[in-house]
Amino acid sequence: MTGYRLFRPPWLRPLAAVALALGLCAGTARADHLDDRLNAQAPKIVEALRKQGVKNVGVLRFRVKEGNRAETFSAGPLNGNLAARLENALVMHAGDDDTDALGVIHDAGREAARHKVGKWHDNEAEQRKLFAIDTYPLAWGTKKVKADAFLSGLVKVSSDYKQGSVVIEELRGPGKVEKLAEFPFEGDPALLTDLGKSYSLGKRSLAAARTAAKTRALVFEAVKKRDEGQADGDDPLQTRDTIEVGGVEFQLLSAGKAVPNDSKDTAGAGPGYQLQSPEQGQEIVFKITNKTEKTLGVDVKLNGTSLFLEQTDEPANCRVWVLKADDTHRSYSLRGYYLQEGDGDKTKLAPFKVLVGDEAQKAREDMSGQLGDKVGTIAVTVFEEGDQGGTEILVSNRGVKKHQEKAARADRATLQRSLMKAGHLKRDPVKRELIVADKEAMKETEDGLLKSVDFQRRPVAIGSATITVVPKTTTTSPDSPN
């Protein structure tokens, strides 16, 4: 099996980058330990499947068990995006020859849902439906196939989030489940984000956070205390219409007026904060304001993609908005997605718009798979400026930028190259209201709006908040494996 070695792409090196009225920064090449372990296991999994004669394999949603809590299919984004990350890892190691490469199905769960497959995990009748479908799309090209096997499994995370393990299970036929692989991993802030956890290190904790290791330990401690209901100054601050995380105040504006937060903090049950969906047809603005006297970098994601270039990687790898303490650069009003069709092209702005009803449901389906559990959420992650010491260069299986995906999936070789580049590798029934980019209304940004700056970030985020955009009336979704 072909091996891969890590490299630091030029765009991740500490060089000047672009910024709104002052700046976005080039990030450090750090991904989570889980992807590093997953990538190491992928060649062994591919080899095992080939020995069984498997031609086409799909990956389904994972179960997650946190500490002593019951395992569930709806712990947070991790349930869905780990399936997508395993799918990407299998693609990268599928083989170099189209005649014998392992066929990897793209987003098998989405196709299963389209065929009305129900809770398949412990139901042989529903498992038969999975194997009867003959329209699963391969991850590349346009070919439709039947699945010979499906992979899923269980992620166990310790109650302090510092350690975890993954069991990968193979469904070889109705009622035929076998353990294919098992491996441990180290927890990190990316894992917390994937579990929908929020935190914001206060002044006392920041004073003690002199190294990346110490900062990481304080983050784990803050999240654990929050789980236990112990408020100690390391929680995001919430008012009626603002959420302050890591010293940055976030506000959602609709037609110039602040959208109120839901008063209920759901810290123990999924993403931590809620905002009522704005009305359809109104101008929407995400306002971020630096409330400190420090320079801070902020990654803002909507539906799992950054507002700059639709980056899907974890925040530590993304270019960020840089907020300074001076009046000019203290606050930004982000009016949509800032996009470039190609390197060096002029930046264009795709404003936000609200979808409702069937249109919102279709958009959710189109964004399923890798981004599925993050659809309908806003994630704000904050970094301090400072020494990058302690940064590790690990792999990421989170996929290519959203606007590059269609071209990347043209054929197997193109997709493998695109995933390896994005991953820092080289060879060796609820009412839904959804905010999205309105690309039909996309226009060029004003000259001089984006400006290059240097920003050296510390490797561990000092604050992170996940905010769910909910309809004014909503109900709880069932725990579904699709």
**What domains lie within the chain, and their CATH numbers?**
4-31+189-470 (no CATH), 35-186 (3.40.50.10610)
Q: How far apart are CA 80 and CA 268, in angstroms?
A: 19
**Which tens digits make up the pLDDT trace of 81-120?**
899 889 988 988 888 888 889 999 999 998 998 899 999 9
pLDDT for residue 343: 60
Amino acid 288: pLDDT: 93
Name 396's Cβ contacts closer than 8 Å, sequence gap at least 6: 31, 32, 35, 313, 314, 317, 422, 423, 424
Stated pTM of the model: 0.73
| pLDDT score for 303 | 86
Ordered alpha helix ranges (H), 308-401 = 357-366
Token representation of residue 167: 């069991």
Confidence (pLDDT) at 24? 42
Token pair for 449:
């709006």
Q: Of 251, 254, 447, 433, nearest to 349 (Cα)?
A: 447
Cβ neighbours for 173, distance < 8 A, ≥ 6 positions apart: 127, 131
Distance CA 189, CA 182 (A): 22
Q: Under 8 Å CB-to-CB from 309, ≥6 apart: which residues?
A: 319, 338, 339, 340, 401, 403
| C-alpha span between 274 and 262 (Å, rounded) | 5
Structure tokens given for 293:
């006297």
| Ranges under pLDDT 70 in the chain | 1-32, 209, 230-235, 263-272, 341-345, 365-374, 386-408, 410-413, 415-433, 445-459, 472-480, 482
